[in-house]
Amino acid sequence: MTALLLWSPYVRQLVNWAVTAGSVLLCLFVLHSRLPGMELLGVGPNWPLIWVVAWSVKRSPWQGAFAGLVLGLIQDGLTSPDPTHTISLALVGMLTALLQKQRYVQEDFISVALIVFGMAVLAETVIAVQFSLQSSHLMAQSTYRSLAEIWGYHQRIALSSAILSSLWAPVLYYPLNRWWQLINNIEQMQT
């Protein structure tokens, strides 16, 4: 911490941005990796969602929604934009910030894991709704999925994603939260 105090505010801000951007890139890189212990029924943790929750816990609803929007656009660029991840991640960011602002939850590992669990189910439900809407428009074609098939997959995917994401959330939340608290404390000391 003493080394950070000696840095100029501009250098400290650049390092903070680099740490934040680096954590986003790490989440996006790990999203497509299937390491041992990081998969359940063919589904891995939703790392962008975990990052959005970690970011939004101490931010305003608009900052959370914007972070979700940006990560959703990046994830759509890496995967398929149809269905989009922007709606679900923006909603997750906004709702997480609203939960924290209303003080329904205290901030600790268990509450963050529970928030991630609920938000993962919500995000997967938003994706399933988008698939359902697409399916209803594509019924004339022979390549559509039935609604029963979509919602059957949704149950498995949502539960698997929620369990794994909530279990892995502290791994990302703890170091990022400590870093952001450190930067915030230094800024408060110098004002």
Q: Write out the chain's pLDDT in tens, 191 residues.
A: 556 666 777 888 888 899 999 999 988 888 877 777 777 777 788 889 999 999 998 889 999 999 999 999 998 888 877 788 899 999 999 999 988 655 555 557 778 888 999 999 999 889 888 877 776 555 555 455 666 666 677 778 888 889 999 998 999 999 998 888 888 888 787 76
Residue with tokens 């209303």: 102
Domain coordinates in residue numbering, the chain: 2-190
Residue-wise DSSP of 66-130: HHHHHHHHHHHHHS-SSS-SHHHHHHHHHHHHHHHHTT-S--SHHHHHHHHHHHHHHHHHHHHHH
Name the β-bridge partners of 43.
Answer: 40
Instruction: State the helix-helix crossing angle for 147-189 and 109-137, rounded to 10 degrees.
Output: 140
d(CA 132, CA 118): 21
| pLDDT value of position 136 | 58
Measured from the Cβ of residue 83, the count of other Cβ atoms closer than 10 Å reads 19
Nearest in space to 30 (alpha carbons), one of 191, 172, 127, 189: 172
| pLDDT value of position 142 | 46
- What is the CATH T-level fold of the domain 2-190, as seen in this structure? Arp2/3 complex 21 kDa subunit ARPC3 (1.10.1760)
CB 43 within 8 A of CB 163: no
